[in-house]
């Protein structure tokens, strides 16, 4: 059973990193100084809790590349 949950965690991590890499590639492998807007940071629909949100980790990846982040989520404040 533990192997199953470890695989779920690994897949979720892969999906976040892969999403970031697609953004990075689509912006010509250069994010320094580019503005990216994140629409929605809550973990679940109709909540205001961003603590476990995949968006938080993706934002960290973007910031490491020098991206200017704009966040819009009327229910959440980061």
**How many other C-beta atoms lie within 10 A of the C-beta of residue 76?**
18
pLDDT tens digits along 16-53? 999 999 999 999 999 999 999 999 888 877 778 888 88
2-72 has which fold? Rossmann fold (3.40.50)
Domain boundaries, the chain: 2-72
Tokens of 48: 């205001």
pLDDT score of 78: 55
Distance CA 20, CA 17 (A): 5
Quickly state the pLDDT bin for 67 (edges 50, 70, 90).
Answer: very high
Distance CA 64, CA 58 (A): 10
Instruction: Specify the pTM.
Output: 0.82
């Amino acid at each position: 059973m533990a192997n199953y949950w470890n695989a779920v965690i690994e897949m979720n991590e892969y999906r976040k990193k892969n999403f970031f890499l697609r953004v990075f590639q689509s912006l010509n492998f250069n994010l320094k100084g580019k503005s990216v807007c994140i629409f929605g940071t809550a973990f679940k629909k109709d909540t205001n809790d961003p603590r476990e949100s995949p968006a938080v980790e993706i934002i960290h990846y973007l910031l490491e590349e020098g991206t200017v982040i704009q966040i819009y989520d009327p229910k959440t404040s980061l």
